[in-house]
């Protein structure tokens, strides 16, 4: 399987096939953003595909992918954008790779519903933020510890232009976010704050010095729980300063902020307070703060979350995982993982109804509407404000939604 360490080399791959993982694992999500065909959970792919073989990876036939021997010819379908219908439902995009933002922004869209910053951190920075903040202390320890000496040398190699090493993190993160914000300006670009798990943070340079080992990082120390924790708050301050720089110094006020994996209303209040401490003040210069709706508690207490956040974005990947009680990275239970399960759909419908009732904007940035046309239609029936899609499904889904809205208005 893959993790963020793989992302630089994934960019140069023609296709990706993994033995393990489900539809929402790291390999699947990043491959879709890169526009690379990807098959996950193949079981024995590394045994039967040999180096040097010519193969064709075919992901065009629905939920199952095929690895075929040899170079198989294919056809390219073209769509005339001049006759593309408009929709009442906003069609936004999931974007995470700054270098592709200007190309992807040429696809007709209403903005970015999910800008993931994890790719910027792993590929453009590659160093744990606390290692940069504590650089001087690490230099002292490196005199007696070869492991730390190696970390210090790697930090020096990457940040040689920076006297204050933490500025490297802020600048690189700001540059990546700004590229996405500029590409889609003046449309909204909703930037999700970092949502690495402990095992992913540990893979960054120096990460092993600061990250605990968890038995199940997927439901551990991630998202909102990190930001106000004294052990991580200094690192989170760098994110806040980067976003502030993009909005205020670069003038990209179309940047909005989204808080992931916020388990309780009290956590949400703490995060908003911490953001204010570092210059990101809700409502100031039009700054809006959204919350990911990806935990059943976000739905159950949606009216309370609506009092402190400006809107919701449904994360159907984690919402499905937690509603059905399974690990979405596990291929062993991947056959059960399905956003179309009635339990998940009831949660989705419920939170959309509450958002409408409380006057809060609500969209979705999870994988479901990109994978399942019928789920996109279901969202339109529920009255969702926006649907954020991976780039390769935007045109197809826009056509589908236009037809669905037309049929609903005719009733």
Domain ranges of the chain: 1-75, 79-410
pLDDT tens track for 114-143? 999 998 998 899 999 999 999 999 999 999
pLDDT interval class at 196 (50, 70, 90): very high
From the list 90, 125, 291, the residue with the least C-alpha distance to 203 is 125
78 compared with 190, residue with greater pLDDT: 190
Q: Which of 25, 38, 365, 382 is catalytic?
A: 365
User: Who's near 12: CB < 8 A, 6+ residues apart?
Assistant: none
- The predicted-structure confidence for 354-397, as pLDDT tens digits, reads as follows 999 999 999 999 889 988 999 999 999 999 999 999 888 899 89
Question: Domain 79-410, CATH 3.40.1160.10 — does that match?
Answer: no
Q: Write down the mean pLDDT value for the chain.
A: 93
| Residues 311 and 289: beta-carbon distance below 8 Å | no
The residue to which tokens 């002292």 are assigned: 140
Of the residues 26, 38, 128, 293, only one is catalytic, namely 26
By DSSP bridging, strand 66-69 and strand 55-58 are antiparallel
Query: Do 376 and 369 form a contact (C-beta atoms < 8 A)?
Result: yes
CATH architecture assigned to 1-75 = 3-Layer(bba) Sandwich (3.50)
Is 27 within 8 Å of 65 (Cβ atoms)? Answer: no
Closest CA to 363 of 63, 109, 101, 107: 109
Q: Is residue 324 classed exposed, middle or buried when 0-12, 13-18 and 19+ CB atoms within 10 A define those classes? A: middle
Give the Cα separation of 403 and 45 in Å (integer): 40
HSE at residue 302, side-chain half, CA atoms within 13 A, is 27
Dihedral, 31, 32, 34, 37 alpha carbons, nearest 10: 60
pLDDT attached to residue 75: 87
Average pLDDT over residues 187-198: 97
pLDDT digits (tens, 9 = 90+) for 223-259: 999 999 999 999 999 999 999 999 999 999 999 999 9
CB contact at 8 A, 324 and 337: yes
Q: What is the pLDDT of residues 317-355, one digit of tens each?
A: 999 999 999 988 777 888 898 999 999 999 999 999 999
User: Which DSSP symbol is given to 200?
Assistant: H
Asked about 365 being catalytic, the answer comes back as yes
């Amino acid at each position: 399987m893959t993790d963020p360490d793989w992302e630089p080399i994934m960019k140069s791959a023609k296709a990706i096939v993994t033995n393990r993982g489900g539809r929402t694992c790291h390999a699947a999500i990043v491959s879709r953003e890169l526009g690379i065909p990807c098959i996950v959970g193949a079981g024995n792919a590394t045994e039967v595909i040999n180096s040097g073989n010519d193969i064709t990876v075919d992901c065009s036939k629905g939920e199952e992918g095929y690895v075929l021997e040899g170079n198989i010819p294919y056809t390219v379908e073209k769509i005339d954008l001049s006759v593309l219908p408009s929709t009442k439902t906003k069609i936004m995009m999931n974007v995470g790779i700054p270098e592709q933002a200007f190309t992807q922004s040429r696809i007709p869209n209403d903005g970015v519903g999910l800008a993931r910053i994890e790719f910027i951190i792993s590929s453009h920075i590659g160093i744990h933020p606390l290692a940069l903040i504590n650089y001087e202390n690490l230099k002292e320890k490196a005199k007696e510890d070869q492991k730390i000496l190696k970390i210090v040398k790697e930090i020096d190699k990457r940040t040689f232009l920076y006297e204050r090493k933490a500025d490297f993190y802020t600048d690189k993160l700001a540059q990546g976010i700004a590229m996405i914000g500029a590409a889609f300006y003046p449309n909204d670009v909703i930037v999700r704050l970092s949502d690495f798990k402990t095992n992913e943070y540990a893979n960054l340079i120096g990460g092993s010095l600061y990250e605990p080992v968890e038995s199940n990082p997927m439901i551990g120390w991630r998202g909102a729980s990190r930001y106000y924790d004294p052990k991580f708050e200094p690192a989170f301050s760098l994110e806040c300063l980067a976003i502030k720089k993009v909005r205020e110094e670069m003038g990209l006020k179309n940047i909005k902020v989204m808080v992931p994996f916020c388990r309780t209303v009290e956590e949400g209040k703490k995060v908003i307070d911490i953001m204010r401490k570092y210059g990101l003040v809700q409502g100031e210069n039009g700054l809006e703060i959204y919350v990911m709706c990806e935990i059943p508690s976000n739905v159950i207490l949606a009216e309370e979350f609506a009092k402190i956040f400006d809107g919701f974005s449904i994360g159907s990947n984690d919402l499905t995982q937690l509603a059905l009680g399974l690990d979405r990275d596990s291929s062993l239970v991947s056959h059960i993982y399905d956003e179309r399960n009635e339990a998940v759909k009831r949660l989705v419908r419920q939170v959309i109804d509450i958002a409408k009732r409380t006057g809060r904007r609500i969209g979705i940035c999870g994988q479901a509407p990109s994978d399942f046309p019928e789920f996109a239609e279901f969202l339109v029936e529920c009255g969702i404000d926006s649907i954020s899609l991976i780039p390769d499904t935007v045109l197809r889904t826009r056509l589908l939604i236009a037809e669905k809205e037309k049929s609903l208005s005719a009733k």
